[in-house]
Amino acid sequence: MAAPILALRGVNKSFGPIDVLHDITLEVRAGEVLCLLGDNGAGKSTLIKIMSGVHQPSSGTIEMDGTSVSLPTPRAASEKGIATVHQFGGTFPLMSIGRSFFVGVEPTRGFGPFKVYDRNRANDIAVKAVRDFGITRIDDGDRLVGGLSGGERQSLAIARAVHFGARVLILDEPTAALGVKQATHVLRIVNEAKRRGLAVIFITHQVMHAMAVGDHFAVLIRGAVAADFHKGEKTREEITDLMAGGASMASLEAEIESYMNSHGGHPPPPAQ
């Protein structure tokens, strides 16, 4: 089997005296979606900041294609094809779709003509890239990014990363703020990125969203990988329990059931 595109091996991270990540080993392969699950404060953002060159590991190694690499800056990560898309798409609300598509793209990466901004060409390329991802409602590159829905913005940011050659796509809670329909769009685009052979790291709280796209799952609890499993190996309930930190959801359900059995079928009153 080919080496994973990106792997962390025994990564630890401390901020001064605070240990945030413990001995993290994770791999993500081409054409695979790795879902990173975990409660608030579990260390998910710190982990992806290490993968995207924002933070350096305190110890441990990062490998790409089986070779140890360092990612000293976000730019170094991006030059190695690691793209990070944040919750709100990270795009620029007051810019047009075409303009935002080319922001920060170095002319040395083969886009010489855009040293002088060519609006029509930028618009055409941006609209085509987004439509190729199945977002057919976007047909005017002059529209402002701020006028797009949350799902469309995410889609634009993902299409942009893929267009500029990303091999690893890191999505930090892309569906958290979206309604069902919008989230479905984004999940479809995640599947499309995977079909095109990218390695996707998808961070979410929503087990159903993870199950809709994930091939491989890692649950982070207090900075450590508490479970690492593949599609089909665990049920939705088991994953939810793992995220809640062990068997706590199951025991809560048992507690409620026993309360109801002894109170004529009535559930406990809400907490004050």
Ligand X SMILES: Nc1ncnc2c1ncn2[C@@H]1O[C@H](COP(=O)(O)OP(=O)(O)O)[C@@H](O)[C@H]1O
- Interface residue list for ligand X (CB under 6 A): 15, 18, 20, 38, 40-46
User: Per rule CB under 5 A, is residue 123 in the interface with Mg ion?
Assistant: no
DSSP 108: G
Please, which contacts does 45-48 make with residues 24 or more away whose CB atoms are closer than 8 Å?
A: 45/172, 45/203, 46/13, 46/20, 46/21, 46/223, 47/8, 47/11, 47/21, 47/220, 48/84, 48/170, 48/172, 48/201, 48/203
The least distance separating ligand X from the CB of residue 74, rounded to whole angstroms, comes to 15
User: Per rule CB under 5 A, is residue 45 in the interface with Mg ion?
Assistant: yes
The least distance separating ligand X from the CB of residue 148, rounded to whole angstroms, comes to 26
The least distance separating Mg ion from the CB of residue 80, rounded to whole angstroms, comes to 23
The least distance separating ligand X from the CB of residue 19, rounded to whole angstroms, comes to 9
* Binding partner of 43, given ligand X, Mg ion, none, CB within 5-8 angstroms per partner class: ligand X
The CA distance from 34 to 261, in Å, is 41
User: Per rule CB under 5 A, is residue 84 in the interface with Mg ion?
Assistant: no
Task: For tokens 């055409």, name the residue.
Answer: 124
* Residue closer to ligand X, measured from CB, 20 or 225: 20
Residues in region 5-44 near Mg ion by CB under 5 A: 44
* Interaction site with Mg ion (CB under 5 A): 44-45
